[in-house]
Amino acid sequence: MAEKVVLAYSGGLDTSVAIRWIGENYHMDVITLTVDVGGERDMPAVRQKALKVGAVKALAVDAKELFVKYFVFPALQADAIYEGQYPLATALGRPLIAKLLVDTAADEGASAVAHGCTGKGNDQVRFDVSVAALAPNLKIIAPAREWGMSREEEIAYAQRYGIPVPVTVASPYSIDENLWGRSIECGVLEDPWAEPPEEVFAWTKSPKDAPDEPSYVEIGFERGIPVSIDGRELEGVALIQELNELAGRHGVGRIDHVENRLVGIKSREVYEAPAATVLLKAHKALEAMTLSKDQLRFKEKVATEYADLIYNGLWFTALHQDLAAYVQSSQRHVMGTVRMKLLKGNASVVGRKSPKSLYSFGLATYDKGDIFDQSASVGFIHIWGLPAKTQAQVQGLEELEKEVK
């Protein structure tokens, strides 16, 4: 009996060709696994296609809830954004798909897993490192990294074996999408000077065509997790879907990023992430109310580490567990409501309230009700400024003074 391999199958050209190619080159039986993390996809049609192209079995799982609960919301709690721009949608989906591949391989008695990533991107790293951490004995096959076919040769190969070449192949773009966002690269986007054409966007209206009237939306949080919209309690998946729709209509969440891939290449990617953009801003606004200055400063460092770790494929590591424990602890008082205004491509925080708010009206106000003792500032400043005063007296500030003159 032939050995079995579980292939992460999207239904696109690369992974369809991979079914046939693995059979031919590895003589293994291919079981496909299609994971629904919130991309638009006709699941029955995708399974049919896998079988038609030569898979011995075609499986599909709806992993949207798992994705939100174990990947998206923890990343939101961490404020994880790569290089200040990318909310990490694709990067968060990969370790989940890897985990499901590994589990399926165990269930099916497969000796290998496979994915459709090329050898130039981050996704191969995320799959391979995750699989190596979860199941070190599984072999990993990456046909698109191994076959050395050009796009034209791949299409010719598909045609030779009756593998349907979808019309989208005519589109020059490479697209990945899940609930947390849509990633678009290639085509004219490879010229970093070229403005992204309107056709690359699918979830967001052009801000110029978005409504002139703003929408206001109130997002309720418990422990840093969004739980309601305008007072209506919602499960995570539904909440994200609703915000993608609403914020997308206002043109919110378009991101144009020249990013640093782990494999040393700078690449230009365009993202659409309406819900992520709104939620990350709202979450930060609530943290600003409920965390101390020192917690906020430290958490920013953790956020950078956390984002890098997700981007770099290190989800299944001890460092991640450690950082995640810190993040969880930091969220225990992050509760309350944030009011967002969506208008013409912008999502702005316009209000926030929390039962655990550290904002004190009495301390902040310049009006009646001021409880801050201004005379106490004198002693505080005396001590605060002591090192500056001492050093200036002993060592002088000639250099600085020269510059000012």
Rounded least distance, CB 175 to ligand ARG, Å: 5
The two structure tokens encoding residue 228? 């309601």
Catalytic residues: 14, 94, 123, 174
**CA separation for the pair 166, 164 (Å, rounded):** 6
Rule CB under 6 A: is residue 337 a binding residue for ligand ARG?
no
**CA separation for the pair 237, 224 (Å, rounded):** 16
Nearest to 95 by CA among 70, 77, 120: 70
The two structure tokens encoding residue 144? 């698109």
Per DSSP, helices labelled H in 27-150 are: 43-53, 64-67, 73-77, 89-108, 123-134, 143-146
Restricting to residues 271-290, name those near ligand ARG by CB under 6 A.
Answer: none
Helix (H) or strand (E) run with residue 296 in it: helix 293-311
Rounded least distance, CB 90 to ligand ARG, Å: 4
Please name the amino acid found at residue 70: Y
Nearer to ligand ARG, 221 or 311 (CB): 311
Helix (H) or strand (E) run with residue 373 in it: none
Rounded least distance, CB 270 to ligand ARG, Å: 9
Restricting to residues 157-186, name those near ligand ARG by CB under 6 A.
Answer: 174-176, 183-185
Q: Site size for ligand ARG, by CB under 6 A?
A: 11
Q: Tell me, what DSSP letter sits at residue 115?
A: -
Restricting to residues 120-149, name those near ligand ARG by CB under 6 A.
Answer: 122-123
Nearer to ligand ARG, 14 or 287 (CB): 14
Rounded least distance, CB 176 to ligand ARG, Å: 4
Angle CA 165–167–173, to nearest 5: 105
Rounded least distance, CB 254 to ligand ARG, Å: 15
Cα dihedral 38, 44, 46, 51 in deg (nearest 10): 150
Restricting to residues 55-94, name those near ligand ARG by CB under 6 A.
Answer: 90-91
Rounded least distance, CB 267 to ligand ARG, Å: 6
Per DSSP, helices labelled H in 318-375 are: 318-330, 361-364
Site mask, ligand ARG, residues 185-224, x = CB under 6 A?
x---------------------------------------
Nearest to 320 by CA among 69, 101, 75, 64: 75
Placement of tokens 């891939």 in the chain = 261
Nearer to ligand ARG, 226 or 313 (CB): 313
Nearer to ligand ARG, 183 or 331 (CB): 183
Applying CB under 6 A, the residues found at the interface with ligand ARG are 90-91, 122-123, 174-176, 183-185, 269
